Amino acid sequence: MEYRKLGDSDLSVSAITFGAWAAGGWMWGGTEQKGAIEAIRVSYDLGVTSIDTAAIYGQGASEEIVGEAIKGLPRDKIQILTKYGMRWDLKKGDFAFKSQDNAGTPIDVYKYSGKESIIKECEDSLKRLGTDYIDLYQMHWPESTTPIEESMEAVLRLIEQGKVRQAGVSNYTAEQMQQAESVLKLASNQVPFSMLNQGINESLVPYCLEHKKGILAYSPMERGLLTGKIKPGHQFAEGDHRANYRVFKDENITQADSLLQKLKPLADEKNASLGQLVIRWTIEQPGITAALVGARNAEQATQNAKAIAIQLSTDELDFINQQLGQLALV
């Protein structure tokens, strides 16, 4: 495994980080707890020491699964990355969307990051995770009802209390990062990035490179589309958010499939799966510190972790980027 400093902080993460959103079941058509725990443990055995989760994932279920999975493992060898600022149990802040919890009960999700709310969320997350500190505590989404400075002051207090090691944000613009840094130093920004979604290259990547901030790429596999296993007409399980996600329109699935067929000979040459090639390409991109990759079971987790062994030359990266330049998603 490769380990990389998150910006210029004292926190290092595994270049392939375990993404635990799907482990919480919510919005992914359910979860199998035993499989998720095994996936996290196998990942750890293969050097994936960093786990990214959030309070909202499964309304605490994902954090509980992570807490169960790391029991008995050396805590100082694991980096727990979690997020705050999305409430399903409080109608305050910016209304985000309507959803259902894992039991099928309707819930309203709000983006809210008031000071007292963050302090409470941190305590709840620590309990669920079964630990007394969080390595990276990230604001999940920006919201309009609380000044960024107020939210960051709450995290600064948690850092002073030893409950949080480093502060991060998620889905922030460069300007919002700058505003947050008037209060405390940020280690990173977690943002969507994949072969099919490279919007951050315009302004966020240059900002993070210049100011020495880490970038955690989420959805690098475009929620499974870049594995090559999803074909036009694919039927998702009930409750799976991907059924209405734009990249899963049949035209986009067809384009992605065509791209993957062009990349397949290169993957075959490397004795790698398409998914592994995609992961390796992602962590080779300028500014990207780590790719967050989910797994439902030990086998998927093993495949993901082994992507680290692939080497891509400059010519091979150029070839991949050439193919990507021909895409025109609808």
- Which token pair is 315? 């010519």
Burial 146-177 (b: 16+ CB within 10 A, else e): bebeebbebbebbbeeebbbbbbbbbbbbeeb
Give me the half-sphere count of Cα atoms (radius 13 Å) on the Cβ side of residue 270: 22
Among left, alpha and beta (phi > 0; psi -120 to 50; other), residue 219 is: left
C-beta of residue 287 within 8 angstroms of C-beta of residue 209: yes
Strands (E), the chain: 3-5, 12-14, 16-19, 50-52, 79-84, 86-87, 94-100, 106-111, 134-139, 164-170, 186-192, 214-218, 288-293
Q: How far apart are the first and last CA of the chain?
A: 36
Starting at the earlier edge strand, list the strands of the sheet with 86-87. 86-87, 106-111, 94-100
Of 285, 147, 155, 158, nearest to 169 (Cα)?
Answer: 155
Q: Give me the amino acid identity at 112.
A: Y
- Concerning whether 57 is annotated as a catalytic residue, the answer is yes
Active-site pick, 57, 112, 137, 218: 57
Neighbours of 294 (CB within 10 A): 22
DSSP string, 158-207: HHHTTSEEEEEEES--HHHHHHHTTTS-EEEEEEE-BTTB-GGGTTHHHH
Of 180, 170, 205, nearest to 289 (Cα)?
Answer: 205
Instruction: Give catalytic residues, as residue numbers.
Output: 57
